[in-house]
Amino acid sequence: MNNKQLVLDAIMNKQTERAPWVPFVGCHAASLLENVTAEMFFKDSDLIVEGVKKAVDLYRPDGIPVLFDLQLEAEALGCKLRYAKDNPPSVVTHPLEDGVKLEQLKIPTVNDGRFKLVMESAKRLCEELGNDIAMYGLITGPYTLALHLMGTEIFYEMIDDPDHVMEVLDFCKDVCIACADMYIDAGCDIIAVVDPMTSQISPDSFEEFVLPYAVEIFDHIRTRNRLSSLFVCGDAKKNIEVMSRCKCDNISIDENIPLEYVIDICKKRGVSVGGNIKLTVTMLFGSVQDNINDALNCMSIGGTKGYILSPGCDMPYATPVENVLAIAAVAHGEMPESIVSESALDGIVVELPDYKAEKKVIIDVITLDSASCAPCQYMMEAVKAACEGLSDKVAYVEHKIKDKESVVFMMKLGVSNIPTIVIDGQIKYISLVPSVKELRETILKAVELKK
């Protein structure tokens, strides 16, 4: 199965051989190019193409967005932007708050704002990468766009003048559909409606002010034979149920909402899920091991049916490359290079036991650390339970690859994934935690062989 199909299948809630990996490389792509600021990146079609291709070479994604810029539509509609060296642009004016009438706003076309250069990038990227990986076209959701246009007045107007807010949202919905069409025409496979500001409103308000417009947008995307996703950031736990009724194929969340909760709600409506890797604490500021740990936890909860491994939102410009590489390695079932590099392990000597000569069956469990990594914990618990009453015949050892000795041990055993169970030097269970019954039977067979 190719990488693109993996993403499409996961979005359609089908079983996949592994969770597909979709890094939301926004302005971080600029940091991968020499002497390129975020501002230069967002304004130059060649740099967008170059940056995204560089990210694809490095991070080996199964899918990737063309661009992550929630200010693109706002700029084309007259919002003034302030560009930055190492951040996406900011909206500094809100036309409808500043006296512009809704009737004066026009649905943007490819000739407005930066749409031409973005769509050129989209077309080139889809042509060059689109056969192998799933290309995402990201559009600003109707509520977030309305907030850009109205400023904070929107909150009180939802109470004082809801009809006016609905007129604005209806206009924003038409903008979303027009932008979705541009990305679809450029060749994108998936349209993601990014509406982070909906986390600021209640489920009732979502139902009244977002749901009807979102349904129309997702229906339209479906008529164009494309898959869709709804991205939300912030604590939107309260809104997940109503979000799952938007008729989108997938919902992507950040770390503010427990992944298991979202899966539970979305599964009932056949909506797949993505996201949840911690963007700031892990990806921006965490260590390589924090990133491995977080990715493993997400994959453990998300499983391989209807889950896409991805960050909670767009990756910050300064996200350390080694952290993203670590997640990419975990997603592909490998150990990150920074952990197994020869230079880091120079001088560390570890001898494997002489398994045949040992009186007991030896179970080596290779983990990140069962105290902090959920799948590792489940695997260790299964081993402990399966070994109950066998202490005279079986010994088990946890090798935490936080320790360099354990990394050398793991390499000597030929193990490349964590967690893994090795019985008398033979790799038996890779990443998947067996049932206690099955594991005990395997152990008892090994005990028999010793006799």
Partner 1 sequence: MTVQLVEMKNPCQSCIIVSDLMISLFEKIKPEYPDVDFIITIIEKPEEIRKIQGLEVEIFPAVLINDEQITCGNILHRRQLKSYIDIRR
Query: Which CB sits closer to partner 1, 92 or 349?
Result: 92
Which two three-digit tokens encode residue 380? 């260790």
Binding partner 1 (rule: CB under 8 A), the pick from 70, 257, 262, 363 is: 70
199 binding partner 1? (CB under 8 A):
yes
Q: How far is the CB of 92 from partner 1 (least distance, A)?
A: 7
Binding partner 1 (rule: CB under 8 A), the pick from 215, 284, 345, 436 is: 284
Residue 43 backbone phi and psi in degrees, to 5: -105, 5
Binding partner 1 (rule: CB under 8 A), the pick from 39, 41, 52, 94 is: 94
Single out the segment in contact with partner 1 by CB under 8 A; choices: 176-184, 222-230, 315-323, 343-351. Answer: 315-323
Query: Which CB sits closer to partner 1, 124 or 148?
Result: 148
Draw the binding track, 216-235, toward partner 1 (x: CB under 8 A; -: no contact): -----------------xxx
What is the rounded distance in angstroms from the CA atom of residue 409 to the CA atom of residue 350?
6
DSSP secondary structure, 376-410, as one string: HHHHHHHHHHHTTT-TTTEEEEEEETTSHHHHHHH
Q: How far is the CB of 247 from partner 1 (least distance, A)?
A: 23
Q: How far is the CB of 87 from partner 1 (least distance, A)?
A: 6
Which two three-digit tokens encode residue 303? 């499983």
Binding partner 1 (rule: CB under 8 A), the pick from 37, 144, 276, 293 is: 144
Taking Cα atoms as reference points, which of 301, 247, 292 lies closest to residue 274? 301
CA 288 to chain centre: 17
Q: How far is the CB of 317 from partner 1 (least distance, A)?
A: 6
For the segment 294-313, give every residue that binds partner 1 (CB under 8 A).
Answer: 312-313
Residue 168 backbone phi and psi in degrees, to 5: -65, -45
Neighbour-count burial of 256, counting CB atoms closer than 10 A to its CB (0-12 exposed, 13-18 middle, 19+ buried): middle
196 binding partner 1? (CB under 8 A):
yes
Q: By the 8 A CB rule, do 291 and 285 touch?
A: no
What is the rounded distance in angstroms from the CA atom of residue 254 to the CA atom of residue 241?
16
175 binding partner 1? (CB under 8 A):
no
Q: How far is the CB of 94 from partner 1 (least distance, A)?
A: 7
Taking Cα atoms as reference points, which of 345, 354, 343 lies closest to residue 405? 345
Positions that interact with partner 1 (CB under 8 A):
26, 68-70, 86-88, 90-94, 144, 147-148, 151-153, 155-156, 194, 196-197, 199-200, 233-235, 254, 279-281, 284-285, 312-314, 316-318
